Amino acid sequence: MTTTSPGKASGVGGEATIQASPEDYWQRYWQHQAAESLGSAAQVQVQRTWQGRPITDAEFRPIVDWILDQLRPGLDDVVLDLCCGNGAITHHLARRSARVLGVDFAQDLLRHVDREGHPNIELQQGDIRRCEFPADSFDRILLYAGLQYLTQGETVLLMRRLRDWLRPGGRVLIGDVPDADRMWDFFDSVSRRAAHFEQLVAGEPIIGTWFAPQWLAHLARDSGFATAEVLLQPKTLPYAHFRFELLLS
């Protein structure tokens, strides 16, 4: 597997410059997790787990199908996959589009992306908070299970960039977002709440930023998106009780 050199992504939507970002908690967390899980199962690598166990292929497939149903990539489309991790979802996007650019700052996760089997995938190691692409670069943009690692302020800036990067008629799916209105459905016991509060004190949050769905929808509309639809995940998905999606066009 090969990647483009840090700082530039060739061939997709022009040239992209991604500046190095300062170390922060989530960068350290994911760099450590990626290095420690190199020989682990794919879902362990990206911590797609529930109650200490990785989700199964049977549990993961409905997640992929849900994403594809909402994003609807076409065979001529150029797709941006932000926080692509080990490519577990990127591979499926590549089979249904012309080109995919996957961005993640954990090089040890990018190593797992199968570019030999999917030659239309390009990879960029970098921080999504500092991505810069020309306007109208992508037909579809996916950010799945990654928004929680941004602050609200960083989310405002990213949302404006997403609008600029999207081509007319395109779609953006921001998925698997922790729902602030249902936080206590996740921290649903005294012990889980105690761990939550203690890790906030330590500056090591268990989940990251929780977003109110309407806050995110208002931000998207005010950033220039014509439509911003809050979607509840199907109950068959493993995290449906505390996460939601936002579909933009």
- Using one digit for the tens of pLDDT, what is the confidence trace for 159-217? 999 999 999 999 999 999 999 999 999 999 999 999 999 999 999 999 999 999 999 99
Q: How far apart are CA 84 and CA 204, in angstroms?
A: 22
Least confidently predicted of 28-42, 108-122, 128-142: 28-42
Q: How far apart are CA 76 and CA 115, in angstroms?
A: 19
- Phi and psi (nearest 5°) for 182? -125, 25
Q: How far apart are CA 35 and CA 18, in angstroms?
A: 22
CB atoms near residue 36 (< 10 Å): 12
Q: How far apart are CA 132 and CA 58, in angstroms?
A: 36
Domain 17-177+212-248 classification at class level: alpha beta
Element holding 90 (H helix, E strand)? helix 90-94
Q: How far apart are CA 148 and CA 176, in angstroms?
A: 9
Cα 190 to the center of its chain, rounded Å: 30
CB atoms near residue 39 (< 10 Å): 7
Domain coordinates of the chain in residue numbers? 17-177+212-248
The answer, yes or no, to whether residue 10 has pLDDT greater than 80, is no
